[in-house]
Amino acid sequence: MLLSQRNLVDAIVDFWPSGDVGSGLDVGCGDGKLTRLITERTGCAFTGLDSSAEALSRLQMSAVLADAANIPMADDSFDLVLSTDTLEHIPEPAYQSVWNELFRVAKRFVLVAVPFREELLDATARCAQCNHLYHANWHLRRYDLPDFVARAATGWSLESLIITGEPWSAMLREEVLFRRYFLDEWSGWTESTCPSCGSAGQNPQAVEPLSTLTAAALGKQVYAHLSEIRQWRSHSEILAIYSRAETVLSFGGPVPELTTRRATMLPAHRPDNLGDLHAYPQVARWIRSAETEIGQFPVYESADTLRLRRSPGMKGCVEGVVEDGLGILYNGVLLAEGEEQKEITLKRIPIPGYYGVLLRSTQLGLLEYAELGCGPEIIWASTSSAGQCYFQAYPGLRVQVSDEIWFDPSFLKATSISQFESGQLVRDLQNLEEMRDQEIDALVVRMQNLTAERTALNKTAAQYESALVHIQNLEAECLALRKAVSDHDRALVRIQNLEAENLGLKKRSIELDVRLAEIENLEAAVNDLKIQLSQTADAQVGLENLNRKLMTQVDQLNAKAAMLQSRLEVRLCASARRVLRSFRKKGSENTR
């Protein structure tokens, strides 16, 4: 079961009439999964009625195959008649007949549940075959609080309205209109069927964030409308309880905890289950991503002040970035160490982007609150017991609270029983179509103005993009010129270096030429010296040979001299001997 169905069953059971309610008829019961739970929890014996034999084949209770506009039962046949999510499908010719039949066969109570404040365009599809526009679930009308006042039959009274169900898509009416009629983006469902040609439905088109300038332009229109009245998107069902005039019902049950704060203030309490970013948020809310926490702010006024306060006992520096639809508004320290509170003036007035204004930081857990500008006061309701539904009471109206939700007091205007009896809401009901036509006309004018603004913005964006391209080309050209100048400067330095090097080389060449001449002269001198040395060497060799010959001759002469000396000595000795002998002979003779 869907969350909306579970909450609706809880609301029906919590407001089940006291006393003996033994029999019930569920008109448009389908396969009876809601009726089965209600039977188990109340003990009422239900009979199912539906025009679909296939649906009734899965029903686990007594059933009647019939048309809701012509119920084959006697008057006052059942203590209670129930119809959930059926009347919104009934075509107009039979619509009032179905209401009449509900009251005719009921003895004491009639309970009717239908979608509450549904934006029918949310689920409107365009047939791929015939281009016919139709609601994917074949819902034919939208229900608001006044729609139930004049429906009570004679002798019956509207005892209470219970707002229940689950949150609608967070996409606001202005964006839905813009996407459907100006971007040609439509919803869809593969199980639906085109009522015009019978073609099977298709999956809805993927929803992508709007472009920056388009989102900013639409944001101005969205918050201009939201500053006047907020859109109630937290509950998808409304349960109307009718009873016989003589019946008085009393309702009890737990009451939620209520707090009041401005819509532009981030709460100190962070829900356990934080959802995704909402397009054009109506209230400030926390978003937790994988790497950081994000504070998402609406922009109800031209405010450029961010107010911050540290949670008691928390220490440390808080740094963060604030950005809107056009870029960074602040980047730096939000609260320095020791600062308890601070007001930061942003560098310009915020322009709401597709996601409003975002505050990103990894230390947002240190903050007690953060507030951007001022906005309308809203009511936050929360439960103290998980899994239990609480009900906030207003005259003639109960609001179911199954989780932390917010709503605006302006949502609840003109809902008291006294106003019902005064006929004010009956007149509102009679004028509702005219009011809706006026609202649609105003929105169409607003969309036309937005289209004109978008055209102007697109033209400005095209000029801006053309200027960006021109700037990029100029930057590229300047970069190329800087590179060419740099290359030219390096070439000039290189040429100067080469010229200096060439001059040095010429000077060195001259010096080398001189040296080469000197070397050549030296080589000639050396050659001459070599020749001279060669000649000297030859002369020396000849001299040595001559010397050797001379030495040989000297040796020979010495040998001959020695031999001659020897011979001379021999001869001298012989001569001496002869002389001596001669002297001796002469001496003896003299002696004698």
Query: What is the tens place of the pLDDT at every residue in 375-393?
Result: 888 888 888 777 778 888 7
Per-residue buried b or exposed e for 82-115, using 16+ beta carbons within 10 Å of the residue's own CB: bbbbbbbbbeeeebeebbebbbebbebbbbbbbb
CB-based burial of residue 27 (10 Å sphere; 0-12 exposed, 13-18 middle, 19+ buried)? buried
pLDDT class of 238 with cuts at 50, 70, 90: very high
Q: What are phi and psi of 471, to 5 degrees?
A: -65, -45
Joined together, the tokens standing for residue 496 give 């100067």
* Residue 49 pLDDT grade (very low, low, confident, very high; cuts 50, 70, 90): very high
Distance separating alpha carbons of residues 403 and 167, to the nearest angstrom: 11
Largest CA distance in the chain: 229
Q: Residue 246 and residue 57: Cα distance in Å, rounded? A: 39
- Residues 152-177: tens digit of each pLDDT: 899 999 988 999 999 999 899 999 98
For residue 261, the surrounding DSSP H or E stretch is strand 257-262
Read off the pLDDT band of 88 (50, 70, 90). very high
pLDDT value of residue 107 = 94
> Within 10 A of 264 (CB to CB), how many other CB atoms are there?
24
Residue 497 gets the label, from left (phi > 0), alpha (psi -120 to 50) or beta, of alpha
SS3 264: coil
Q: Give the per-residue pLDDT at 273.
A: 58
Bridge partners for 261 per DSSP: 378
The pLDDT score that the predictor gives to residue 550 is 75
Whether residue 544 is predicted with pLDDT greater than 80 in this model: the reply is: no
Q: Judge if pTM exceeds 0.75.
A: no
Please check whether residue 255 is in contact with residue 391, taking contact to mean a CB–CB distance below 8 angstroms.
Answer: yes
> Cβ contacts of residue 359 below 8 Å, gap of 6+?
266, 294, 295, 296, 297, 306, 320, 321, 322, 370, 372
Q: In 3D, which of 309, 223, 236, 326 has the Cα closest to residue 266?
A: 309
- Picking from 55-64, 70-79, 439-448, 478-487, which range would have the lowest pLDDT averaged per residue? 439-448
Segment 175-194 shows an average pLDDT of 90
Specify the pLDDT at position 477. 86
Mean pLDDT of 308-334: 91
pLDDT band at 455 (very low <50, low <70, confident <90, very high): confident
- Radius of gyration from C-alpha coordinates of the chain: 58
Q: Report the alpha-carbon distance of residue 445 to residue 439 in Å, rounded.
A: 10
Residue 419 confidence (pLDDT) above 70 = no
**pLDDT higher than threshold 50 for residue 425:** no
Q: How far apart are CA 267 and CA 87, in angstroms?
A: 39
Residue 446: pLDDT band with limits 50, 70, 90:
low
- Average predicted confidence (pLDDT) for the chain: 83
Of 259-268, 338-347, 372-381, 545-554, which gets the smallest average pLDDT?
A: 545-554
